[in-house]
């Protein structure tokens, strides 16, 4: 018996239920089909993740097949080539992922080929979590409370014992996919920070659960320090299983290796990941439309020069610029700074949240359709359970509060590195001597603010008033 395993957002051997099921029945043919719509940073990650996965399979005598084309056509052709009677996969919860899964099931059924799908991505199936009225939750806290009360993640499955591949079908070479940037090659900062692949994910996880998690609750908002798990790209590509994270954290709390304040806070952030996917399953239109319909009439402004200044980290607001430059250099931005930078684009620049979402999609190594959509709508105030639109992050105060000594700003905006910390979040208020001593020339080596905070705030609030009663 040869079972095809269609891999997508589950690039791991450990706790991969579809792989495990297939291996328990005989020979396995894993296949990964070129994904058409990833961003540049994600393609960079995917290259190394697939390279490592192919090696792990090869060590066990199994070939990871890479194929290009329409997934349904590719998979049906492969069933014919291998004369297989069984195809399995782990579910993907985006609207496109769900559509593909159900179309495939139908095609396979019509040809008498067995198909089974599994949950490898979530702690709990979105369709199992409903409120007392039988409707989906629209607020995180009751959603998560309900999940915690009913959570019973099935046990973890280990790395399967594979039977050596006996077919001689060849894979497309990974290099032919051209996933790595060439001219220019902007990936050196990404390579410095990250180790894509399952081993990299496990190493990061071990480091976090054995040490960093003890600083999580209080430290997670401090951008200059690495107090969070940094697992997001590994989770986005399915290199580590959320169930493993859940069980390890629970176990560490029970054995008192970690205190429950830190453990539960961390798990509740994993809960936001569950919630984002949950929202996408129940309200798939939120990828392109605001959850709150009032925002369909919001008077967004089209200002390409403000968008460009934001993308390039040249807004004149140091915390925003530091975040945008960290993103460009490393494919990642600290969560606190993501909120401030996103709010700045939406509320200070009055730019549609989808512009920011698209930029993040292209530049984040952890770009994830569910987390990205839900987070941008949350910041814009148009999502479920969103931060209200009128709550406008003040980029100066946020910097003064969360980057007290300015270390994060100094790292990513080196032109301000010598500036007295009292001006680091507002260089335009510094006296000429302080600026001169620090080598800061506003309008020359660092920009004046592209918008005035107070005026921008007023404009944003007026715009909000115009749709509030609609």
Ligand X SMILES: Cc1cc2nc3c(=O)[nH]c(=O)nc-3n(C[C@H](O)[C@H](O)[C@H](O)COP(=O)(O)OP(=O)(O)OC[C@H]3O[C@@H](n4cnc5c(N)ncnc54)[C@H](O)[C@@H]3O)c2cc1C
Q: Is 379 in the site for ligand X (CB under 6 A)?
A: yes
Report the helix count and the strand count for the chain, using DSSP H and E.
20, 5
Q: Quick one: which of 153, 263, 162, 130 has its CA closest to 208? A: 263
Judged by CB, which is closer to ligand X: 120, or 342?
342
Q: How far apart are CA 1 and CA 84, in angstroms?
A: 7
Judged by CB, which is closer to ligand X: 199, or 269?
269
Residues between 207 and 246 with contacts to ligand X, criterion CB under 6 A: 220, 228-232, 235-236
Among 339, 345, 456, 460, binds ligand X (CB under 6 A): 339
Task: With CB under 6 A as the rule, give the number of residues binding ligand X.
Answer: 27
CB contact at 8 A, 177 and 66 = yes
Among 90, 372, 377, 425, binds ligand X (CB under 6 A): 372
Q: How far apart are CA 55 and CA 387, in angstroms?
A: 44
Q: Token pair for residue 75?
A: 């998979």
Tell me the three state secondary structure of residue 312: coil
Min dist CB 447 to ligand X, Å, is 22
Alpha carbon of 136 to those of 98, 118, 278, 288: distances in Å?
18, 22, 9, 20
Judged by CB, which is closer to ligand X: 43, or 360?
360
Q: Quick one: which of 343, 342, 467, 320 has its CA closest to 408? A: 320
Q: Beta partners for 65?
A: 31
Q: Is 425 in the site for ligand X (CB under 6 A)?
A: no
Min dist CB 357 to ligand X, Å, is 7
Q: What is the CA radius of gyration of the chain?
A: 24
Among 366, 381, 389, 425, binds ligand X (CB under 6 A): 366
Among 376, 389, 412, 423, binds ligand X (CB under 6 A): 376
Min dist CB 388 to ligand X, Å, is 15
x/- binding map, residues 77-116, to ligand X, per CB under 6 A? Answer: ----------------------------------------
Among 5, 41, 123, 342, binds ligand X (CB under 6 A): 342
Q: Is 14 in the site for ligand X (CB under 6 A)?
A: no
Q: Is 165 in the site for ligand X (CB under 6 A)?
A: no
Q: How far apart are CA 225 and CA 64, in angstroms?
A: 38
With CB under 6 A as the contact rule, which of the stretches 104-112, 149-157, 368-376, 397-405 interacts with ligand X? Answer: 368-376
Is the link from the previous residue into 184 a cis peptide, with omega within 30 of 0? yes
Q: Is 351 in the site for ligand X (CB under 6 A)?
A: no
Alpha carbon of 176 to those of 47, 171, 172, 384: distances in Å?
11, 11, 7, 42
Q: Is 327 in the site for ligand X (CB under 6 A)?
A: no
Q: How far apart are CA 126 and CA 140, in angstroms?
A: 13
Active site residues: 269, 272, 300, 335, 353, 376
Among 91, 273, 325, 348, binds ligand X (CB under 6 A): 273
Q: Which helix (H) or strand (E) holds 67?
A: strand 65-67
Q: How far apart are CA 457 and CA 256, in angstroms?
A: 46
Min dist CB 228 to ligand X, Å, is 3
- Residue 280 has φ and ψ, to the nearest 5°, of -65, -35
With CB under 6 A as the contact rule, which of the stretches 143-151, 179-187, 305-313, 365-373 interacts with ligand X? Answer: 365-373
Residues engaged in binding ligand X (CB under 6 A): 220, 228-232, 235-236, 269-270, 272-273, 276, 335, 338-339, 342, 360, 364, 366-368, 371-372, 375-376, 379
């Amino acid at each position: 018996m040869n079972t095809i395993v269609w891999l997508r957002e589950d690039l791991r051997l450990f706790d991969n239920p579809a792989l495990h099921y297939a291996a328990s029945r005989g020979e396995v043919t894993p296949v990964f089909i070129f994904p058409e719509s990833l961003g540049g940073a994600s393609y960079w990650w995917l290259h190394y993740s697939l390279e490592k996965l192919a090696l792990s399979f090869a060590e066990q005598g199994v070939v990871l097949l890479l194929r290009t084309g329409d997934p349904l056509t590719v998979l049906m052709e492969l069933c014919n080539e291998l004369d297989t009677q069984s195809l399995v996969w782990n579910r993907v919860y985006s609207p496109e992922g769900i559509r593909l899964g159900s179309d495939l099931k139908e095609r396979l059924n019509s040809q008498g080929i067995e198909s089974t799908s599994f949950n490898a991505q979530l702690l709990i199936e979105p369709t199992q979590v409903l409120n007392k009225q039988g409707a989906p939750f629209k607020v995180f806290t009751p959603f998560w409370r309900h999940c915690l009360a009913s959570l019973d993640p099935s046990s973890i499955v280990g790395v399967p014992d594979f039977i050596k591949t006996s077919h001689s079908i060849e894979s497309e070479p990974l290099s032919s996919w051209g996933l790595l940037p060439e001219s220019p090659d902007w990936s050196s900062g990404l390579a410095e920070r990250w180790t894509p692949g399952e081993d990299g994910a496990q190493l990061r996880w071990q480091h976090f659960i054995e040490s960093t998690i003890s600083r999580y609750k209080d430290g997670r908002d401090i951008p200059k320090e690495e107090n969070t798990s940094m697992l997001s790209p590994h989770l986005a590509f399915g290199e580590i299983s959320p169930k493993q994270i859940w069980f390890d954290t629970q176990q560490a709390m029970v054995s008192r290796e970690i205190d429950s304040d830190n453990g539960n806070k961390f798990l509740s952030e994993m809960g936001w990941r569950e919630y984002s996917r949950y929202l996408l399953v129940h309200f798939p239109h939120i990828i392109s439309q605001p959850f709150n319909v009032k925002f369909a009439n919001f008077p967004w402004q089209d200002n390409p020069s403000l968008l460009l200044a934001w993308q390039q980290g040249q807004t004149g607001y140091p915390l925003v610029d530091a975040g945008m430059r960290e993103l460009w250099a490393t494919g990642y931005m600290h969560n606190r700074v993501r909120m401030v930078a996103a709010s700045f684009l939406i509320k200070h620049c009055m730019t549609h949240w989808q512009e920011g979402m698209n930029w993040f999609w292209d530049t984040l190594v952890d770009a994830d359709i569910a987390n990205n959509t839900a987070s941008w709508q949350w910041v814009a105030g148009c999502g479920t359970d969103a931060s209200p639109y009128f709550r406008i992050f003040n980029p100066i105060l946020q910097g003064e509060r969360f980057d007290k000594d300015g270390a994060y700003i100094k790292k990513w905006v080196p032109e301000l590195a010598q500036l007295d910390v009292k001006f680091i979040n507002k260089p335009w208020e510094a006296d000429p001597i302080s600026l001169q001593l620090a080598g800061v020339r506003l309008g020359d080596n660092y920009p004046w603010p592209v918008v005035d905070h107070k005026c921008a705030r007023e404009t944003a609030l007026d715009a909000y008033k115009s749709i509030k009663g609609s």
